[in-house]
Amino acid sequence: MASNSSESLPTAFKMLVAGGFGVGKTTFVRSVSEIEPLTTEEKLTTASTATDSLEGVDDKNTTTVAMDFGRITFQPQNVVLLLFGTPGQERFWFMWDDLVRGALGAVVLADTRRLQDCFAAVEFFERRGIDFLVAVNEFDGSFQYEPGEVREALGIKPHVPVMLCDARSRSSAASVLVSLTKHVLAATPSAR
């Protein structure tokens, strides 16, 4: 890539999008990505019915088996976020250890109908010291809670942002990523 003094090279950050099965991770990455996202979705089969509960996501017929990948660039700062969506089913969680390498932060998507499904993601990032925020994906027909109520229910520390979003909306997902980037940079000692 050629550059002159009037152009600034992009600054790239790796960010994860995590959460429980069916919470909207693939939708989030797909809605905000400026490139055609890479997805590893496979059809759910009857063989998985004993393993994968579809309670609360009855219409779901695919699942991410490895990861999703997308990219978004914020101008004029020329900040590029490389987005890696994690698989939500417990049997694919071993992928998280590989996906988290080099990540600066994470979005933990939550569904208030199945809030307990995001506990594992919150714990995963807390244990590894990865900065994250919780984004409540407001599904149609779900009861709407205030961010403070979600924070209390999850036992999230006061410095961790909790916000509402619609994973289907590019602007909403982008707003979550802007907030995550600001949160990560504010928590980074060299950024102070």
| CATH label of the domain that carries residue 34 | 3.40.50.300
CA distance 45 to 20: 19
Q: Is residue 150 part of a domain?
A: yes
CA distance 15 to 182: 12
> In the chain, how many domains are there?
1
pLDDT the model gives residue 2: 43
Calculate mean pLDDT across residues 144-151.
93
pLDDT tens-digit map of 15-29: 999 998 889 999 999
Average pLDDT score over the chain: 84
pLDDT the model gives residue 50: 55
Hey, what are 181's tokens? 């980037």
pLDDT tens-digit map of 48-86: 555 555 555 556 555 555 579 999 999 888 899 999 999
Q: Is residue 159 part of a domain?
A: yes
Calculate mean pLDDT across residues 164-177.
96
Strands 11-19 and 105-110, by their bridges, are parallel
pLDDT the model gives residue 27: 93
Q: Is residue 18 part of a domain?
A: yes
Position 142 confidence tier, pLDDT thresholds 50, 70, 90: confident
Q: Is residue 2 part of a domain?
A: no
More confident: 51 or 2: 51
What residues have CB less than 8 Å from 178, skipping those under 6 apart? 74
Cβ neighbours of 37 (radius 10 Å): 17
Q: Is residue 54 part of a domain?
A: yes
pLDDT the model gives residue 10: 72
Residue 5 has pLDDT above 50, yes or no: no
Cβ neighbours of 165 (radius 10 Å): 24
Q: Is residue 1 part of a domain?
A: no
Q: Is residue 5 part of a domain?
A: no
Calculate mean pLDDT across residues 134-139.
94
Which residues span the domain enclosing 64?
11-191
Q: Is residue 3 part of a domain?
A: no
